Amino acid sequence: MLTIKKYFIFTALIFSLFLSQVVMAWTKVSNSITMNGQNFSADWYLPDNQARGLVYLQHGFQADKNNVSQLAEVYVSADIMVLAIDASMTGGNPSLAVTVADTFANQAITPPNGFPLPTRWVFAGHSAGGLHATLIAAELVQLGQSVAGLVLFDPVDASSLMQTATARLQTAQVPYYGILANGGLCNSFNNSQGFFESIPNQTFGGFKLVDGSTHLDAYGTESYWYQSLFCGSPSTQNINYLREFSLEWVKSLLNVSTDSDYFPGGEIFEQIINVGDAVILQ
């Protein structure tokens, strides 16, 4: 019987082979998009099949859209459209969050290659980009729009903005999940953890990776040297945990499919908790 770590090493190999085989099943288009008169460099990840939904995927502070490219490829390989843009993420960039929310609410953004804008949206982000994604979702709720959910990667709060934003999400019963790393300077010592431990409308808010996790787990091997110098280098194990679980959560939020193994009570979820690789946020 495979141990959990051997299971994930095996899964990682199969996952890598899978991605190498489906590399032609999606297309990456880099262009410029305009939101409220502002131009942004954007990467669109377009599946060859009909998109099952859209993930707006935001990089963190002192980063760019290339940092989240490997994660975007995981989602688009499951026929999920991904949009990633370059933008300043200082303090979560609240003004840009309002602009993005208005753009989506008015459907004033058009994917390339003749794709329509999907009607179900998940907002995801890393570090300050996680705060940014939360602010976008909260603004959309304020505008009366439907948000499928959020998946946040070691988000970092600023100026207590997450408190107001998550209160709106909880009132609207918008689900949000987090995958956190060990506390340190790069994630302000887990200053967002409490928001995932106090969600009233969910059984859990995700988990914290504790076996060698770093603030850069979401970037995989796409971290720049200066990012790794300050925040550490991710391990293969934690990269794969983050990708596999977040993909299943995104699929569930978009009503694509729900695999109970990746939620509390499920075999894979309980194994990573029981072996001490993660602790549940509950």
SS3 labels along 126-192: ECHHHHHHHHHHHHHHHCCCCCCEEEEECCCCCCCHHHHHHHHHHHCCCCEEEEECCCCHHHCCCCC
What pLDDT is attached to residue 261? Answer: 97
What pLDDT is attached to residue 21? Answer: 43
Residue 1 pLDDT > 80 = no
pLDDT in tens, 84-134: 999 999 999 999 999 999 999 999 999 999 999 999 999 999 999 999 999
For residue 87 the two structure tokens come to 């933008």
Between residues 13 and 84, the one the model is more confident about: 84
Residue 15 pLDDT > 60 = no
Percentage of residues in the chain having pLDDT higher than 70: 91
Quote the Cα angle for 231-234-235, to 5°: 150
Q: Which of 271, 269, 236 is nearest to 15 (CA)?
A: 236
Percentage of residues in the chain having pLDDT higher than 90: 88
Tell me which of 7-11, 75-79, 222-226, 275-279 is least confident.
7-11
CA 113 vs. chain centroid, Å, equals: 24
What pTM was estimated for this model as a whole?
0.92
Residue 151 pLDDT > 70 = yes
What pLDDT is attached to residue 82? Answer: 98
Residue 3 pLDDT > 80 = no
* Helix axes 4-21 and 236-253, enclosed angle (nearest 10): 70
Q: Which of 278, 185, 188 is nearest to 237 (CA)?
A: 278
Q: Which of 97, 172, 178, 170 is nearest to 139 (CA)?
A: 97
Contacts made by residues 117-121, CB under 8 angstroms, sequence distance 24+ = 117/54, 118/51, 118/52, 118/53, 118/54, 118/81, 119/53, 120/52, 120/53, 120/54, 120/146, 120/148, 120/253, 120/254, 120/255, 121/53, 121/54, 121/55, 121/56, 121/147, 121/148
Q: How far apart are the C-alpha atoms of 124 and 8, rounded to whole Å?
A: 24
Q: Say how many C-beta atoms besides its own lie within 10 A of residue 226's C-beta.
A: 9
Quote the mean pLDDT of the chain. Answer: 92
Partners of 38 in beta bridges: 35
What pLDDT is attached to residue 202? Answer: 84
Q: How far apart are the C-alpha atoms of 148 and 209, rounded to whole Å?
A: 24
Burial 207-218 (b: 16+ CB within 10 A, else e): bbbeeebbbbbb
pLDDT in tens, 20-50: 444 458 999 999 999 999 999 999 999 999 9
Residue 200 pLDDT grade (very low, low, confident, very high; cuts 50, 70, 90): confident
Q: How far apart are the C-alpha atoms of 228 and 153, rounded to whole Å?
A: 16
pLDDT in tens, 211-245: 999 999 999 999 999 999 999 999 999 999 999 99
What pLDDT is attached to residue 174? Answer: 96
